[in-house]
Amino acid sequence: MPVSTLAPSILPPGSLHRLLSLEDRIAYNEHDDQVNLQWLLKLLVKLEEIAPAEEEEGVSDESAIDTSKASKVVSARKAIIETPQEEEYRLQHEQLTEKVSSCLAHFCGRAASGAMTRTWTFKTTPPQSLQIHDPSFTGGDVGFKTFGSAYLLSKHIAHGDIPQLESWTSASYSFSSSSASSVPHPRILELGSGTGLVGFTAALFSNPRGPKVVLSDYHPNVISTLHHNSALNHLDTRCDIQLLDWRDILGRRKLRWNGAQEEPTVVQQRSTEYDIVAPTSLPSFSSSAATAATTATSNSVSCQEMSEQDRMDLILGAEVVYDHGHAELVAHVVDEYLKRDLISTDPSLPLSKRRPAFHIMFPIRKTHTDVIAEFDFWMDKMGLVDCRMAKEWGREDGETKFLYHWREYVRKEHL
């Protein structure tokens, strides 16, 4: 029987939406974690109070009736006396109780664990590993944990599945080899680094003679975690950790398009974690641009277009699009930072290795199909298309199994 065709919803729409958000295990990045925890506990108590009455499982005074026969009698009586409205109410109540209980169990389990340092091992030859510190869950900042999509994308990096990195991550490749001399060392950027597993993996397996891998995030607390994990793995000389607010990029692009004499366009987004942090003034990752930001005051400098030499050959992102506010932002950031020219002009190399790309990994959640559709719209508008369209199974925290999308976006002219 379809839900909500007969009986009204047990929970108000606002409570139901909040529960679905928590159930999807992606809203655990707010400052009010304890508020959410208490809300779930109260909701469970409320559901217990309004639980449908249960049928007495007793039978008549004829105690000689066997148990199996008694069960059949009770089931038959229940089927007769339960109205369609009562049946739907019972089904709704069971579904909601299961959702709240599952969400509460996951919430309490992660909260109780506190801060942890885990070792992520890659089955390469020889095996390589990274130690990643996940801050305390109750700290409430975005980037508190390492998501399953980060490990999946990191495994592909380690196993040489990223074309733009394949020459250096391949097990058979030696750094002293001249086989890849026609391919410049790639400039690599990770968006929304969080705990940094993806970016540090790229640094661990990329050519040590190449540019530093840039790990970025918007929250100062996350930046502190990234510095901690970089030192933990002795990667300070191979990584550059930067504060980057995606809203700044979109704001500067709109200002550039509208004219430097006009006031910056205010970018209105749906409420996300971005609303709690002031934007950074860092316009790009190049030293010249950073210097310009600190010495110049004119809009024309702060909004200048990035030079091709400062753009990236490879951009990485794990679970960076999970809210409507991210769809347009990520598309603009990728378009701004991804190189427009080919990495190499050597025609003997496969095109897949020569074209700049944005690799993104995210779980397929039924509650986020509209977010991904919006993301697809903006990526297409930027002239970026997915040339991979791969799917694979993985687990979140070793628990819930998800189907993940692995996409590789390139510029249309490089297809």
pLDDT in tens, 259-303: 754 444 444 443 334 344 444 434 444 433 333 333 333 344 457
Q: Is the pLDDT of residue 312 over 50?
A: yes
Residue (of 244, 228, 230, 179) closest to 207 by Cα position: 179
Q: Is the pLDDT of residue 37 over 60?
A: yes
pTM: 0.67
Look at 290 and 75; give whichever has higher pLDDT: 75
CB 146 within 8 A of CB 132: yes
Q: Is the pLDDT of residue 3 over 50?
A: no
What is the average per-residue pLDDT within 398-413? 86
Give the containing element (helix H, strand E) for 49: helix 33-49
Percentage of the residues of the chain whose pLDDT score is greater than 90: 39
Give the per-residue pLDDT at 398.
Answer: 54
Give the per-residue pLDDT at 173.
Answer: 52
Look at 411 and 147; give whichever has higher pLDDT: 411
List the helix and strand counts (H, then E) for the chain. Answer: 14, 10
Q: What are phi and psi of 378, to 5 degrees?
A: -70, -35
Write the single-letter amino acid at 29.
N
DSSP character for 30? S
- Stretch among 6-15, 79-88, 172-181, 342-351 having the lowest mean pLDDT: 172-181
As beta bridge partners, residue 394 has 402
Q: Which residues contact 279 (CB under 8 A, 6 or more apart)?
A: 245, 247, 248, 251
What distance in Å separates the CA atoms of residue 48 and residue 354, rounded to the nearest whole number?
Answer: 60
Give the per-residue pLDDT at 226.
Answer: 96
pLDDT of 117-140, one tens digit each?
Answer: 889 999 998 999 999 998 865 444
Say if residue 122 is exposed, middle or buried (CB neighbours under 10 Å; 0-12, 13-18, 19+): middle
What is the average per-residue pLDDT within 175-195? 76
CB 277 within 8 A of CB 141: no
Residue (of 3, 49, 40) closest to 18 by Cα position: 40
Residue (of 265, 258, 191) closest to 222 by Cα position: 191
User: For domain 114-414, which architecture applies?
Assistant: 3-Layer(aba) Sandwich (3.40)
Give the per-residue pLDDT at 69.
Answer: 52
Look at 402 and 302; give whichever has higher pLDDT: 402
Look at 399 and 198; give whichever has higher pLDDT: 198
At 185, the pLDDT band (50, 70, 90 cuts) reads confident
Distance of CA 162 to the CA centre of its chain: 19
What distance in Å separates the CA atoms of residue 346 and residue 157, rounded to the nearest whole number?
Answer: 23
What distance in Å separates the CA atoms of residue 158 and residue 168, rounded to the nearest whole number?
Answer: 10
**Where in the chain is CATH 3.40.50.150?**
114-414
Q: Is the pLDDT of residue 47 over 60?
A: yes
What distance in Å separates the CA atoms of residue 356 and residue 334, rounded to the nearest whole number?
Answer: 11
Q: Is the pLDDT of residue 77 over 60?
A: no
What distance in Å separates the CA atoms of residue 325 and residue 272, rounded to the nearest whole number?
Answer: 7
Give the per-residue pLDDT at 397.
Answer: 59
Q: Is the pLDDT of residue 70 over 70?
A: no
Give the per-residue pLDDT at 128.
Answer: 94
CB 183 within 8 A of CB 343: yes
pLDDT of 223-232, one tens digit each?
Answer: 999 999 999 9
Q: Is the pLDDT of residue 87 over 80?
A: yes
Give whole-number Cα distances, 205 to 122, 149, 188, 315, in Å.
11, 18, 12, 15
What distance in Å separates the CA atoms of residue 211 and residue 305, rounded to the nearest whole number?
Answer: 21
Q: Is the pLDDT of residue 189 over 90?
A: yes
Look at 80 and 4; give whichever has higher pLDDT: 80
**Buried residues in 289-305 as b, exposed as e (16+ CB within 10 A):** beebbeeeeebeebbbe
Q: Is the pLDDT of residue 90 over 50?
A: yes
What is the average per-residue pLDDT within 31-35? 58
What distance in Å separates the CA atoms of residue 388 and residue 409, rounded to the nearest whole number?
Answer: 8
Q: Which residues contact 43 (CB under 8 A, 6 or more apart)?
A: 11, 15, 19, 100
Strand 128-134 relative to strand 116-122, pairing: antiparallel
The single residue listed with the structure tokens 């918007």 is 218
